[in-house]
Each structure stands twice: as C-alpha cells, then as structure tokens.
Structure 1
Amino acid sequence: MILSCNNISKSFGTDVIIKSCSFNIEDHEKAAIVGINGAGKSTLLKIITGEEPADTGIVTLAKDKTLGYLAQQQDLQSDRSIYDELLSVKQYILDMESELRRIEAAMNNASGDELESLMNRYTNLNHEFEMNNGYAYKSEITGVLKGLGFAEEDFSLHVNTLSGGQKTRVSLGKLLLSKPDIIMLDEPTNHLDMDSISWLENYLLNYSGAVLIVAHDRYFLDKIVSKIIEIDNGDCTVFSGNYTDYASKKAILRNMKLKEYLNQQRDIKHQEEVIAKLKQFNREKSIKRAESREKMLDKIKVVDKPVELNAKMNIKLEPSVISGNDVLTVTDLTKSFDGNTLFNNINFEIKRGERVALIGNNGTGKTTILKLINGIIQPDSGSIYLGAKVAIGYYDQEHHVLDPDKTLFQEIQDAYPDLNNTQIRNTLAAFLFTDDDVFKYIRDLSGGERGRVSLAKLMLSNANLLILDEPTNHLDIVSKEILENALNSYTGTVLYVSHDRYFINATATRIIELTNQNIVNYIGNYDYYIEKRDILTAKAFPDTPDISSDNISVKSSKLSWQQSREEQNKLKKKQNEIKKTEERIAEIEDRMSAIDAEYSDPSIGSNTARLMELHNESTQLKKELDTLYEHWEELMEEM
C-alpha cells in the first residue's frame, strides 16, 4: 500500500462535500475518482496533497515514497524555453554528468592512490548515472514533449508566451519526467488531442508507479484504471474494474438497493396493517400480539431510500423545420493562416440525419472548418453550400456567442424575446440554474456553467443543423451521457468537433478525419475508425510512407476492439442472468410476505393442515432463496 485515506470528511460552511471517505491505493495500482461536477473530486486530491485541510480523517503516504500532483489549471511562470523547463527536472542528471566530466579531467593528472580513489568514485557514479537513464535523458525529454503534442520547432518557445493549455502540458511533462511513486492527475486530457491522449494512456499503463486520476474521459478511464472511487452525494464507494465495470455495477447495486428499500417499505406497511387489525379485535391476546409486533417493528433498521441527485440537465433537441436531404456541401475548400496551409481543396457532403464527427490533431483546422461553415471567417478558395431550409445552431467551445456583461436571464431573454419570464426560468432550471442563479453574470460563470448556458440557447434554437465545437468540454460524465442521448434522439443533422472518443463512439454515424491537409472519410463510429484507419489512410495517401503513427498500436486497437465486442456479449449474458435471478428473488420474497400474512390470519389459527402446508412451503422457499442469493453473489463477482 502506497497511499491510505481513512475517514476523510470535508465541509464548506453548511455544505457537506465528503463524508467519511476511506480507500487505499496499492503500489503500481491505477485508480480514478469519479463523480458529478461539484462532488468534491478535486477537493479530495487537494486534501491528499495537503493543499486543503480535512475536517476529519488521516491521509497516510508510505514511508520514503514521493507524490506528484497536476492540478487542472496551471499558472507556470518561467523565462526558460519549453525544452529547458523540462530539462530542469533532470538537474540531478546534469549534476552527475558534470561530476563525471570533472573526475575524467582529474584522472588525467592523477596517479597512485589518488587515481584509484578517483576511478572507484567514477565507477560508482557512472553506475548511478546509467541506472537513472543518464545516457538517454535527452531522448526521454524529446519523447515526452512529442507525445504531449509539441513539435520540435515548439521546443524553443518560452514558457511565459504559452497559452494556459500549453502550460498545463508543460507541467504534465515535468511531472511525468520526475517519476514520483504516485502520480495524481486532475483532468489531464482537457488540453490534449487524440494522439496525445493515446500516448498518455500507454505511458500511464506502463508506468511503474501508482496513478490516481480525476477525469471525465470514459474511454481514457476504461483503458487505464482497475479501480474506481466514486463520490456520490458525499458518500465514498470503491469499485473494482474500469469505468464500464463501475457503471454496470453502479446500476445493478442501485436497483438492488431500491428493491431492498421498496420491499422493506412494503413489509413495514403490511406489519402496520396487521397490527391495526389485531388492535381492532380488541381482545387481550390480540392486543398483546399487536404490541409484540410493534416491538419487532421498532427494532427494524430502516433502509434509506437511494438518493436521486437533482443534478441532471434536461436537454430536448428538436428541429422546428425539416431540412432537405442535402444539408451541407463543401467543395474545394482551402484555408491558410500566415503562410501555413491548414487544408487544401477538401470536399465532403453531409446528408440529413447524419451525426458526423470531425477529428484530427490540434492545429489541423477542425474549428476553422466550423467557423467557415458558420460564416465567421472566409475561405481562401472553395465554396460552402447549405441545403434547402437548413437552419444552423452553433455551439462555440470558447462561448463567444455569450455576452459576458449580461446575466443568464438577459442572455436568454435577448436571444429569444418571445419567451415569457416563466419559460426563461424553466429553461434555465432544466440546465441546473435555479433561484438567484439566473441573475449571475456570464463573466462570473465557470467553464462548465457557460457550457450549460450555451446548450440551453442551442436547445431553444430549434435548429435542424447543429454545429458543435468540443461540446463535452467541462461537462461531467452524467451530463455527457445526457447530451449523448439527446443527440441520438435528435431528428436533425449534427456536425461536431470532439476529442472525447467515448462520446464519438456513442453518437457518430460517420467520422471525417482531417490529416495531411486533406480528409479521410469513415462510415462508422470511433471503434470502426480505429479498425479501418490504417487501411483507409494508406489508400488516401498512397505516396506517403508510414502515415499511421503506430501500426502496432492500430493492430492492437483492432484486436482490443474485437475482444471488447466479445466481452460486451458476455457481459450482456451475465446481465440477463442477473436480471432473471433478481426477478425470482423478488417473486419469492413476495410469496414469503404473503405466507407471513396468512400465518397472522386468526381464521386459520386452528387449521393444523394448512399451517403445516405453509410451514413446508416457507421452508422450501427459504432454501431456494439462499441458493439464489449465493448464485447472485457469484454472478456479481464474475461481473
């Protein structure tokens, strides 16, 4: 065990964020903390690092172990270049290298005991240098920088000139190179493109230390973690497995908990009815029996009803007018900035009802294409044609469509003047803005809150072509799933840019990849893209060698995809068997409740034959119930 958290609790004023949270992280283990926005995930990381004090509880880091932490936002200040900033992590290597050169120079002029001493010192230091990868530290730094999406020409850029996202990537690179015994990352994929996320996945999978991640990237979590720590309404629960395993178990456990609650409530109601009936008889024996049942009822430990958090957006996307079949036609589109050609003579069409994901590395021009379609900027050449009756609804990842000097209420009111006050409030409430929240200024909102306002405006637009730029940024997992369901139910057409692979997999009917200043088309979701990428890219660019960044990883991804399908089929079978087992358990519990009720019926009190029948039936049902519970537990373990 490298890290232990015991009974951690934290409140801010009257708001209880974390209640008695306990979990352990083992050596080399990869784990994630999940929960809705505001659940306390980042707070828990800060408590572990000591940045935030806990109200109660103890955090224990194993002796002589090091901890590295990357917060969501980085304000890295440095006059050094990107390369030199990462090189600073290896200062101890540089010091050893300088000492080796010094000893080498000294040995040239030494002899006798002095030379032997220097040679021993040199041998020991050189061994330590090798053990710390001293002869390959430059290539290690280069590999990390390229893996995180920096090109070689970026290495010389000064840190102080970088954007917030670039600074976060530099900080992440420094943390990875420092190789702590446990790495803690808060939303590490927010500023990475798909290739960089894939690289980070492989890096963390092969990392020799432990990893604790807060992330909303479900695809990322599925690949890396083997333990999920959930914070839900302040309660902390540990699940084994990756995110998909957790989601399945969570649903099953909640259903079981709800059934347990409903069954107990039904039993309590039944007992109360029997007690009332016995008291109505108004006889000494019946009253005593009623009092006996009341005492038993008082001793029952009442099961709490599972809490359904009122923290879910209510998105309903529906076009007011049906467009023509040909929604968008792009012909010979070219765009350059400052002499840098983003794409050249690209062509594609989008038909009504399609959900198209536009993907590609950072800087390839994905957002630029969306802006060109919206008429925000003009192309160098080429044409963009919108079909008959096409009305665009645009979601901008930077939320430039929002006025920072307006309140939420004013933002909706000015955009949709036909809405009355109640309709505006109801719309904002559907996106979790209630009471005085509606009078907050846009400039004071977090990124996630601005995203919800933009989605509210999008819903009201009733557009039949939705153009979305990174719509899942800053959304928690629950909100992402709600947006996925809304898009999948939407009868219009969708074109979006996203690096959220799970989201793409769940929503896209087609993928357009922007690469090598051109596009490659994939008729399928992200799994299909992974399967066909190597083949279709080679066909699209036959004269370009090794277009695929890593043939091995593509083959591995294909194998992983096939295995995933097989696992999904097995999972469905297990889920069906669990469902049947739970249904039979419920039937038996209902029948046993009915037997208890009949036992209590005074009319059969002297009917020995009937009482014997009920006793035998009850005995058999109890045996079957025990067997079913064991079988259910076995199934849950297999899940």
Structure 2
Amino acid sequence: MILNAAHLKKSFVGETVIDDASFFLNEHDKAAIVGPNGAGKSTLLNLLTGELPRDEGEVTLKKGCTLGYLHQDNTLDSELTIEEELTKVIQPILDLEAELSLMQREMKHAEGAALEKLLAAYTEAEHRYELMDGYAARSRVTGIIRGLGFSEADATRPLSSLSGGQKTRVFLGKLLLEQPDLILLDEPTNHLDLESIEWLETYLMNYAGAVLIVSHDRFFLDRIVNKIFDLNHGKVTSYDGNYTQFTEKKEALAEAAARAYENQQAEIKHQEAVIQKLRAFNREKSIKRAESREKLLDKVERLDNPYEAKKDMALYFTPDEVSGNDVLSVEHLGKAFGDNVLFSDLNFSLKRGEHVAIMGGNGTGKTTLLKIINGLLPPDSGTVTLGTKVFCSYYDQEHQVLHPEKTLFEELQDTWPDMTNTEVRNMLAAFLFTGDDVFKRIKDLSGGERGRVSLAKLMLSHANFLLLDEPTNHLDMESKEILERAIRAFPGTVLYVSHDRYFINRTAT
C-alpha cells in the first residue's frame, strides 16, 4: 500500500464537502476520482497532499514515498527555455556524467594505486549512473517535449512566451521526468490535443509508480485505470475496474437499490394496512397486536429514496420542421489568418440525420470552420450552402452567445419573449437551476453551469441542424451521458468539434 486515506472530512463555511472518506492505493494502482462538478474532487486531492488542512482524518504515505502533483492551474515563471526547464530535472544525472568524464581523463595519466582508486570510484559512479537510467536521460527529455505536443522549434522558446495551457504542459513534463512513486493529476488532458493525450495514456499505462487522476475524459480513464473512487455527497465508494466497468456496476447497484426501496415501501404499506384493520376491530386483543406491529415497524431502518437523490438535466432536441435531404454543402473553402493558412480547397457535404464529428490537432481550424458555416466569420474563398428548410443552432465552447450581464431568467426570456415566467422557471429547473439560482448573472456562473444554460437555449431553438463546438467541455460525466442520449435520439443533423473520444464513439455516424 502506497497511500491510505482514513475518515477524511472537510467543510467550507458550514457546508461539508468531504464526509468520512476512506480509501487506499496500492503501489502500482492507476486510479481515478470521479463525481459530479462541485463534488469536491480537487479538494480531495488537496487534502491528500496537505495543501488544504483536514478537519478530521488521516493520510498515510508509504515511508520514503515521493509524490508529484499536477494542479489545474500550474504555472512556471522563468526565462529559461522549455528544454532548459525540463533539463533541470536531470541535472544530477548530468553532473554525474561530467564526473565520469573527468575520471576518464584522469585515468589516462594515472598509474598504480592512484589508478586502482580511480577505477574503483569510476565503477561505483557508473553503477549509480546506470541505476539513474543516465544513458536514456537526454532522450527522455526530448521524448517528453515531443509527446506533449511541442515542436523542435518550441523547445528553445522561453517559458515567459508561453500560454497558461502550454506552461501546464511543461509542468506535466517535469513531473513525468521526476518519476515520483505517486503522481496526482488534476485534469491532465485539459490542454492537450488528441495525439498528446494518446501519448500520455501510453506513458501512464507503462508507468512503474502509482497514479491518481481526476479527469472527465472517460476514454482516457478506460485505457489507464484499474480502480475508481466515486465521490458523491461527500462519500467515497471504491470500485475495481475501468470507467465503463464502474458505470455498469454502479447502474446495477442503483437498480438493486431501487428494487429494495420499492419492496420495502410495499411491505411498509402492507403492514400499515394490517395495523389499520386490527385497530378497526376495536378489541383489546387486536389493538395490542396492532401496537406490537407498530413497534416492529418503527424499528425498521428506512432505505433512502433513490429517486429523490438523483436529479438530472432533462435534455432532448425536437426540431420544429424536417429539413431537406441535402443539409450542407461546403465547396473549395479556404481560410487563413495572415500567413497562417488553416485550410484550403475544403469540400464536404452532409445529409439529413447524419451526426458528424470534426477531429484534428489544436490550431487546425476546427472552430473557425464551424464559425464560417454558422455565418460568424467570412471565408477567404469557396462557398457554404445550406439546404432547404435547414435551421441552425450553434453551441459555442466559449459561450460567447450568452450575455454576461444578464441573469439566467433574462437570458431565456429575452430570447423567447413568448414564454411565460412559469415556463422560463420550469425550463431552468429542468437544467438544475431552481429558486434564486435563476437570478444569478451569467458572468458569475461556473463553466459547467454556463454549459447547461447553453444547452437549454439549444434545446429551445428547435433547430434541425446543430453545430456544436466542444459541447462536453466543463460538463460532468452524468451531463455528458445525458447529452449523448439526446444527440443519439435527435432525428436532425449534427456537426460538432470534439476531443472527447468516448463521446465521439457514442454519437458520431
């Protein structure tokens, strides 16, 4: 066992986020913490590292265990280049390399006892060098730079010139080079393109130490993890297996819990009916029997109602009109920004009912293509033609179609003025915004909450052609699954950009 967490508890301003959480990791485990947005997954990681003080409970690490931690917002401030920053990690190896080189030169001129002493020292140093995997150290740095999506030219760029996401990638590279016994990763795939994610998967699958990941990338988790810690309502439940196996087990448990609840409710109603009948006889003997049954019924430990605990978005897409068979035709399309040519002579078409994913590396022009189709950007060349009776609705990953100063209520009512106040409230409630939530301003919402508002507007549009840019970003896993079901059931046409391979496998035709 490399890590043991026992009875962890953490509250913020009276609200308990982690409540009596206990779990453990073995030395070669690859595990994931999953749960809805706001469940406290990052908080739990911070409790494990000691970055947040625990209200109660203990975290025990194996003696001598080294630990590395990638936050969601790691930054590196330095004038060093990417290569120089990563090379710092292998500096002890490079120092030993210089020492070996010096001894080699000295041995050329040494004799007798001095030479024997040098040879003994050299043999010992060379053994240490081999244990540190010194011969592969430089190629590891190069491999990690390439694996994380940096080009040869990028390697000489100073860190100060990088974006926040690029700096996070460099931090991840340093962590992998350090090779700690236990790595904690909070959303490691957030700033990676598909090629880099696949490289990281392979790296972690073959990693000798233990790994604990918080991630919404279900395909990534399916490939890597052998254990799931499900964090819900402050409690942690452990499951063996990958993400898909976890969902199957959890669904089976939920069905069993529902059956047990229904059976118990039926038995309670039966006992109450018997008690009522015994009391109706109004005889001393029957009243005593009724009281005896009541006492037994009071002692029954009531099961929680599983239907009350589960609140999901109510998402479904219903087009007002059926489009023609030819939905979209793109011919000879080209777009460049300055000298950066994103695409040229691009040709494709979509038929009614097709659900199509656009895939490609970061910066290849996927979002730009969607914006041109939606009329938000002009093309440099070529044409975009929509078919007859085609009505588009656009989901923007930056949620720029939302108005930051408006409340949720205003956002819907101003777009659909024919909706009554009750209808607006009911629609927002269907997307888990109840009570005073409806008066929150868009600018004060989390990424996941903005995603839900955008999905509500998408649903209300009743369009027959949906254009979606990274629709699963910021959504928790339950919300992603609801969106998947809605798209699979949608009779209209969908064109979307996504890096979410699990989502693509489930929705793209």
Task: Give yes or no for TM over 0.5.
Answer: yes
- Give the alignment of 1:589-600 within 5 angstroms: none
Tell me the residue number matched to 1:370.
370
**1-structure distance, mates of 2:117, 2:128:** 17
Tell me the residue number matched to 1:415.
415
Instruction: Answer whether contact 1:230 1:236 (CA < 8 A) is retained.
Output: yes
Tell me the residue number matched to 1:31.
31
When normalised by structure 1's length, the TM-score is 0.76
Tell me the residue number matched to 2:75.
75
CA shift digits 1:279-302 (9 cap, x unpaired): 444445444444443343343333
CA shift digits 1:510-552 (9 cap, x unpaired): xxxxxxxxxxxxxxxxxxxxxxxxxxxxxxxxxxxxxxxxxxx
Identify which of structures 1 and 2 has the higher relative contact order when contacts are C-alpha pairs closer than 8 Å and 6+ apart: 2
CA shift digits 1:475-518 (9 cap, x unpaired): 10000011111112222211000011111111111xxxxxxxxx
Tell me the residue number matched to 1:66.
66
Tell me the residue number matched to 1:277.
277
Tell me the residue number matched to 1:185.
185
Cα distance change on mapping 1:269 and 1:422 into 2, 3 Å = closer
Tell me the residue number matched to 2:219.
219
Question: Does the alignment pair 1:248 with 2:214?
Answer: no
**2-structure distance, mates of 1:395, 1:124:** 62
Show structure 1 runs of 5+ residues with no match. 510-639
Question: Does the alignment pair 1:257 with 2:277?
Answer: no
Worse-matched range after superposition: 18-27 or 404-413: 404-413
Show structure 2 runs of 5+ residues with no match. none
Cα deviation for residue 255 of structure 1 reads 1.5
Tell me the residue number matched to 1:167.
167
Instruction: Answer whether contact 1:9 1:57 (CA < 8 A) is retained.
Output: yes
Worse-matched range after superposition: 360-369 or 470-479: 360-369
**1-structure distance, mates of 2:300, 2:437:** 42
Worse-matched range after superposition: 130-139 or 113-122: 113-122
**1-structure distance, mates of 2:309, 2:300:** 26
Worse-matched range after superposition: 104-113 or 431-440: 104-113
Instruction: Answer whether contact 2:75 2:171 (CA < 8 A) is retained.
Output: no
Q: Which amino acid aligns with 2:103?
A: I
Question: Does the alignment pair 1:467 with 2:467?
Answer: yes
Cα deviation for residue 245 of structure 1 reads 1.2
Instruction: Answer whether contact 1:190 1:473 (CA < 8 A) is retained.
Output: no
Tell me the residue number matched to 2:337.
337
When normalised by structure 2's length, the TM-score is 0.94
Cα deviation for residue 440 of structure 1 reads 2.8
**Which stretches of structure 1, 4 residues or longer, exceed 6 Å deviation after superposition?**
none
Tell me the residue number matched to 1:398.
398
CA shift digits 1:373-394 (9 cap, x unpaired): 1233333322211112222211
Give secondary structure in 2 for the equivalent of 1:24. Answer: strand
**1-structure distance, mates of 2:415, 2:109:** 83
Tell me the residue number matched to 1:633.
none
Tell me the residue number matched to 2:478.
478
Instruction: Answer whether contact 1:233 1:309 (CA < 8 A) is retained.
Output: no
- Give the alignment of 1:625-636 within 5 angstroms: none
Give secondary structure in 2 for the equivalent of 1:155. Answer: helix
Q: Which amino acid aligns with 2:325?
A: N
**2-structure distance, mates of 1:258, 1:49:** 37
Worse-matched range after superposition: 110-119 or 478-487: 110-119
The number of residues matched between the two structures is 509
Cα deviation for residue 400 of structure 1 reads 2.2
Q: Which has the higher helix share?
A: 1
Cα distance change on mapping 1:362 and 1:266 into 2, 3 Å = same
Tell me the residue number matched to 1:348.
348
User: Root-mean-square deviation (CA), in Å?
Assistant: 2.1
Matched-pair identity in %: 60
CA shift digits 1:580-622 (9 cap, x unpaired): xxxxxxxxxxxxxxxxxxxxxxxxxxxxxxxxxxxxxxxxxxx
**2-structure distance, mates of 1:443, 1:283:** 68
**2-structure distance, mates of 1:66, 1:485:** 43
Q: Which amino acid aligns with 1:391?
A: F
Tell me the residue number matched to 2:501.
501
Cα deviation for residue 37 of structure 1 reads 0.5
**1-structure distance, mates of 2:25, 2:173:** 23
**1-structure distance, mates of 2:384, 2:301:** 67
Cα distance change on mapping 1:108 and 1:307 into 2, 3 Å = farther
Give secondary structure in 2 for the equivalent of 1:152. Answer: coil
Cα distance change on mapping 1:406 and 1:80 into 2, 3 Å = farther
**1-structure distance, mates of 2:289, 2:455:** 61
Q: Which amino acid aligns with 2:275?
A: I
**2-structure distance, mates of 1:79, 1:429:** 50
Instruction: Answer whether contact 1:221 1:243 (CA < 8 A) is retained.
Output: yes
Cα distance change on mapping 1:54 and 1:284 into 2, 3 Å = same
**2-structure distance, mates of 1:183, 1:416:** 49
**2-structure distance, mates of 1:278, 1:420:** 51
**2-structure distance, mates of 1:277, 1:116:** 103
Cα deviation for residue 140 of structure 1 reads 0.9
Cα deviation for residue 190 of structure 1 reads 1.8
- Structure whose alpha-carbon radius of gyration is higher: 1
CA shift digits 1:328-377 (9 cap, x unpaired): 11112223333333323121100111110011122222122112212333
